[in-house]
Amino acid sequence: QKEVEQDPGPLSVPEGAIVSLNCTYSNSAFQYFMWYRQYSRKGPELLMYTYSSGNKEDGRFTAQVDKSSKYISLFIRDSQPSDSATYLCAMRPTGGFKTIFGAGTRLFVKA
Amino acid sequence: DSGVTQTPKHLITATGQRVTLRCSPRSGDLSVYWYQQSLDQGLQFLIQYYNGEERAKGNILERFSAQQFPDLHSELNLSSLELGDSALYFCASRTSGDNSPLHFGNGTRLTVT
């Protein structure tokens, strides 16, 4: 079993839809949670960075962490065609050197 | 722009050859990480350096090695290349302390023919 599970998709939605992306994990030591966006042939770009449980909002993006369920989510409101990319969840324990990534979910937003 | 610079962008070489990938971290970042991304494996951690010293190793093959120089740039050396080594290789850096995420460069696309 992988430490971080993420459905690879693809996920296709119409423009303006609310998108929900999710990851589950098995290591209860993970404390730092990240979401990255990766466009084709580019490096992963940091979108959201949260510590422990709770919500964080930044513009159209909201990240949620539920440590009791070992489940994290990224919501994208009013999705745009420019949001079409691969979204990677990532996490790391306190004091840990290694950041573990999910497989990434490919998102397509249709105009 | 993340501030992490990787060169070259593309590399095409033959099996059995050796190549060197270069990374300059963000200004002030002491930690450099190398990741491999292939279609079927996702982002796989290879190795981490902190201020010139190796800190952690992941799924790095013995044919691969890395180092970080006094000016903090890092090089990843891949030798005896095989077709299966074709992938995107990313470098990432972050500042010291727990509360800092990774920032990635745009990668080097390696094609082994």
The whole-number pLDDT of residue A52 equals: 85
Contact: B102, A95; criterion CB under 8 Å: no
Chain B residues touching A29 at Cβ < 8 A: none
Token pair listed for B100: 């800092």
- Closest-CA distance, A99 to chain B, in angstroms, reads 8
The whole-number pLDDT of residue A111 equals: 95
The whole-number pLDDT of residue B98 equals: 67
The amino acid at B73? H
- Closest-CA distance, A8 to chain B, in angstroms, reads 10
pLDDT tens for residues A17-41?
999 999 999 999 999 999 999 999 8
DSSP reduced 3-state for A71: strand
Nearest Cβ partner for B104 among A32, A44, A104: A44
Over chain B (113 residues), what is each successive 10-residue block's mean pLDDT? 94 98 96 91 91 93 97 97 96 84 96 97
Strands B10-13 and B108-112: parallel
The whole-number pLDDT of residue B2 equals: 86
Q: What are phi and psi of A102, to 5 degrees?
A: -75, 170
Strand partners, A71: A24, A66
Nearest Cβ partner for A42 among B4, B35, B106: B106
